[in-house]
Amino acid sequence: MALSDSSAARAPASGVEHARAARREIFYRHSIAVRLTHWSNVVCLTLLLMSGLQLFNFHPALYWGNYGYRGAPSVFSISAMRDPETREPAGITRIGDYSFDTTGFLGVHFDAEGLAHGGAFPRWAILGADLAVTRDWHFLMAWLLVINGAVYLLYGAVSGHFRRDLAPATRELRARHILHDIWNHIRLRRPRGEAAKRYNVLQKLSYLIVIFLLLPAIVLSGLTMSPAVTAAAPFLFDLFGGRQSARTVHFIVANFLVLFVMVHVVQVLLFGAFNLMRSMITGRYAIAPEKVS
C-alpha cells in the first residue's frame, strides 16, 4: 500500500523534482502485528541468550547421549586453567579432540583493571546471579517466546502473510535467480522500485528456515531437558537421542540463531539503517526509484 506524498501529488516542474518526488514514495511494508511480534522476539531472544549463557557457565560442557557429568567425555567444553609455563590464567575451548586457547574471549576474561575472571562467557553477556534465578529468567522468556510465536503463526496463516510475503515463487527458486540475488548482496546493491516492496528469495528462505526449523528445534530441545515434560512425552528422547544430546542441539541451534541475527543487523546497517528501522517501528518504508538506463 503506497502513501501519496503531498509534494509528490503536484506535477514536477523538472526531471530533478520528478526524481525527488519518486524518492518520497512511501510504502507500508510491515503490519502492526509483524512489528509487535518482531520487537517482542528481540526482547525475548536477548534475555534468553543472556540467561542461556549463564546456564552454560554453571556446567560449561556438552555431551551426546542421555548422560553428562564432570569427568565424563564431552564433545565440547570451555574451561579455565593455568598455563603450565607462565602460570597465567588461560581459557581453553575444546571441540572433540582439538583444543584452542581462547583467553580473553572464552574461559578467562579480563575486567577494566586487568584482573582475570573465570567463566565460559564474560559477565557482561550473562543474566542471573544464581542457578535458580537464571532458570526462572530462561523459562519465563521461553514461554513468552512460544506465546509470541503462536500469535505470529496464527496471524501469518489467517492474514495470508506467509503466502504473500514469505513463500518463494517457483521462478525465485531457480539457481539463476538465487545466484543473481547473492551477487546483488555481495555488491551491496539495494533493491529499488517494485523489488523494494517484497523480500528477495534469500530473505524468504532465511526467514522460513528460522520460523519453521530453528525455532521449533530450539523449543523442542529445550523441552527435552525437562524431566516433567519428557515423562509425559518420552518420544522427545527418541527425537534427539537423549537429554544431553538435546542440550547440545539446543546450544548449536542457539548459535545459528545468533549468527542469523548478526547477519540481519549487518544488513540493516549496510542497506539503510534509518529506513529499515523506521519500517519496523512505524511500518513506513521509503522506496528508492528504479534506475533508468
pLDDT digits (tens, 9 = 90+) for 93-104: 999 999 999 999
Check residue 48 and give its pLDDT: 97
Check residue 225 and give its pLDDT: 93
Find, among 146, 137, 145, the residue nearest to 51 by Cα.
Answer: 137
Check residue 62 and give its pLDDT: 97
Q: Which residues lie across from 117 on neighbouring strands? A: 109
Q: How many CA atoms lie within 13 A of 143 on its CB side?
A: 5
Categorize the per-residue pLDDT at 287 as very low, low, confident or very high, splitting at 50, 70 and 90: confident
Q: Averaged over 40-67, what is the pLDDT?
A: 95
The pLDDT of residue 3 is above 60: no
Q: Name which residue leads in pLDDT, 195 or 4.
A: 195
Check residue 5 and give its pLDDT: 41
Categorize the per-residue pLDDT at 10 as very low, low, confident or very high, splitting at 50, 70 and 90: very low
Check residue 114 and give its pLDDT: 83
The pLDDT of residue 4 is above 60: no
Find, among 111, 112, 133, 1, the residue nearest to 58 by Cα.
Answer: 133
Q: Which residues lie across from 26 on neighbouring strands? A: 3, 286
Check residue 41 and give its pLDDT: 96
pLDDT digit string (tens) for 169-222? 999 999 999 999 999 888 888 888 778 888 999 999 999 999 999 999 999 999
Q: Averaged over 216-245, what is the pLDDT?
A: 94
CA distance 106 to 162: 39
Residues near 141 by beta carbon (within 8 Å), at least 6 away in sequence: 44, 47, 48, 51
Average model confidence (pLDDT) for the chain?
88
Check residue 2 and give its pLDDT: 44
Q: What Å distances lie between residue 269 and 59, 197, 234, 266, 276, CA to CA?
A: 36, 19, 45, 5, 9
> What percent of the chain clears pLDDT 90, i.e. is strictly above it?
70
- The DSSP H or E segment spanning 157 is helix 131-159
The pLDDT of residue 12 is above 60: no
